[in-house]
């Protein structure tokens, strides 16, 4: 019995001792002053308002602050700066205090499978911190590269007809006494002039389709009428090669877009089919609708396109056979224009082709549901009726205000209308 009581007392004393130890530890910890990293006053608010990715590192390049964009760009992982390039910049700023502005292309992703172009500004922040600001310039750099490539391609493409025209002009001048030579070279001069004019026109059209906002400026368009007219416009060159253009099917609903741009896109496809088809063949145009999608297929019986060329066929100035394209008058911009127009209309264009069996271009565009609010789009009958009703109501309101308005007195003090209400 005594042993049992002694055990209980010992257990109680142990519990009390453990509790006293824990209380003592908490009191000691509360008395320790831990220096948390602190930012200069107002710095956090300023950084949040910049709209840029930012990283703040301490004297050993540990990450003190970083916003979500810095993590999304792959510049920071955990509390560590990922890229050695950034650490080299912080070391330079820490050494001499001079702000650095540089642009880098840095790997992105867990294995660096992608890249990001960032403009970095590295500057001292207070006495112990370094600030890294990062502006994502990836899309800007891509657009700039495309623009430079486009300018280079345009310059190259323009050189050929301009050079040919200059050379042919000199040749004609030198052969002024040879009527046959003048006739022959004049015909070639006309051909190069037409090619130059077509190239310039395609460049203008490409610029125009890239700049127009179809969503806000489009109207309901009947593709049946567009395809019928596009086919009619291509019949003359088709008849010169005895090529039949056959149009079949119909579309029950309209699409929202720009009729002129769609006309240009479909005519480019039909002209291409005629241009690269042998004589005595047929070009088929099929129209169908399914699940709210208008589908247009343009099929030829031409030479076809190799598989390795199909992925690049919509690139600017890309030609499967440059010599043949120049001979047939192609500029290399037609399919690029088609892709831009269809993309601007929320659609897609695809290609099936097999060498020796021809090609089929398929265009898919979203149709308007004319039982819904789509009839309220600009240019639709309902929109025009509502606009006219609004105009009449506004005019009636204005007339009513005018009839009840008190005329202003003239300089003599009499009423300008000879009286008041």
Per-residue pLDDT tens over the stretch 372-393: 444 444 444 444 555 455 455 5
Band of residue 68 on the pLDDT scale cut at 50, 70, 90: confident
How does strand 219-221 pair with strand 244-249?
unpaired
The values of phi and psi at residue 56, to 5°, are -115, 125
pLDDT of residue 291: 87
- The whole-model pTM stands at 0.48
DSSP structural state of residue 348? E
Q: If 0-12 CB within 10 Å is exposed, 13-18 middle and 19+ buried, where does residue 212 land?
A: middle
pLDDT score, position 8 = 42
Task: Return the SS3 of 297.
Answer: strand
Q: Quick one: pLDDT at residue 229?
A: 93
Residue 98 has pLDDT above 50, yes or no: yes
Higher-scoring residue by pLDDT: 95, 112: 95
Q: Is residue 89 over pLDDT 70? A: yes
The fold of 50-136 is Beta-Lactamase (3.30.450)
CATH number corresponding to 214-380: 3.30.565.10
Mean pLDDT of 325-332: 51
Average pLDDT score over the chain: 74
DSSP letters for 247-271: EEE--SS-EEE-HHHHHHHHHHHHH
Q: Looking at the DSSP assignment, which residues form a beta bridge with residue 349?
A: 363
Section 86-109 average pLDDT: 88
Sign of CA dihedral 16, 18, 19, 25: positive
* Coil, helix or strand at residue 162: helix
The residue ranges of every structural domain in the chain are 50-136, 142-211, 214-380
Provide the pLDDT for residue 399: 55
Q: Is 153 exposed, middle or buried (0-12, 13-18, 19+ CB in 10 A)?
A: middle
* Chain centroid to CA 232: 33
CA angle 243, 247, 248 (to 5 degrees): 140
Q: How far is CA 107 from CA 68, 85, 92, 103, 337, in A?
A: 18, 11, 22, 13, 33
DSSP H or E run through 98: none
Highest-scoring range by mean pLDDT, 22-26, 182-186, 311-315: 182-186
Beta carbons within 10 angstroms of residue 247's beta carbon? 17
Instruction: State residue 228's pLDDT score.
Output: 94
The CATH architecture assigned to 142-211 reads Orthogonal Bundle (1.10)
Give dist(CA 15, CA 146) in Å, integer: 76
Give the chain's length: 421
Residue 205 sits at the vertex; the CA angle it makes with 203 and 209, to the nearest 5 degrees, is 120
């Amino acid at each position: 019995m005594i042993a049992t009581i002694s055990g209980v007392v010992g257990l109680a004393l142990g519990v009390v001792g453990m509790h006293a130890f824990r209380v003592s530890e908490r009191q000691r910890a509360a008395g320790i002053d831990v220096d948390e990293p602190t930012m200069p006053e107002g710095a956090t608010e300023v950084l949040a308002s910049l709209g840029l990715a930012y990283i703040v590192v301490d004297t050993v390049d540990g990450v003190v602050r970083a916003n979500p964009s810095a993590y999304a760009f792959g510049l920071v992982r955990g509390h560590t700066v990922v890229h050695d390039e950034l650490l080299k910049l912080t070391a330079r700023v820490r050494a001499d205090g001079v702000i650095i502005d540089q642009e880098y292309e840095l790997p992105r992703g867990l294995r660096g499978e992608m890249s990001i172009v960032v403009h970095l500004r590295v500057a001292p922040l207070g006495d112990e911190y370094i600030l890294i600001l990062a502006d994502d310039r990836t899309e800007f750099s891509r657009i700039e590269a495309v623009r430079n490539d486009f300018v280079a391609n345009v310059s190259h493409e323009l050189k050929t007809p301009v050079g040919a025209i200059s050379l042919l002009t000199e040749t004609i001048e030198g052969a002024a006494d040879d009527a046959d030579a003048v006739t022959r070279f004049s015909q070639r001069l006309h051909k190069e002039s037409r090619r130059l004019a077509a190239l310039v026109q395609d460049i203008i059209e490409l610029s125009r389709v890239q700049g127009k906002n179809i969503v806000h400026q489009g109207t309901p368009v009947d593709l049946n009428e567009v395809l019928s007219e596009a086919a009619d416009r291509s019949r003359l060159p088709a008849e010169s090669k005895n090529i039949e253009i056959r149009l079949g099917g119909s579309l029950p609903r309209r699409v929202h877009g720009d009729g002129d741009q769609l006309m240009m896109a479909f005519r480019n496809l039909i002209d291409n089919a005629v241009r690269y088809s042998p004589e005595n063949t047929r070009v088929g145009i099929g129209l169908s609708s399914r699940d709210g999608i208008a589908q247009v297929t343009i099929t030829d019986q031409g030479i076809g396109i190799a598989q390795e060329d199909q992925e690049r066929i919509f690139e600017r100035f890309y030609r499967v056979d440059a010599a043949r394209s120049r001979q047939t008058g192609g500029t290399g911009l037609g399919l690029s224009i088609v892709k831009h127009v269809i993309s601007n209309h929320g659609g897609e264009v695809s290609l099936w082709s097999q060498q020796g069996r021809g090609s089929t271009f398929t265009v898919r565009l979203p149709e308007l549901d004319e039982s819904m609010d789509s009839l309220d789009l600009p240019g639709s009958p309902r929109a025009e009726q509502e606009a006219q009703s609004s105009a009449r109501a506004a005019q009636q309101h204005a007339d009513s205000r005018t009839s009840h308005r008190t005329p202003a007195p003239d300089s003599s003090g009499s009423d300008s209308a000879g009286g008041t209400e």
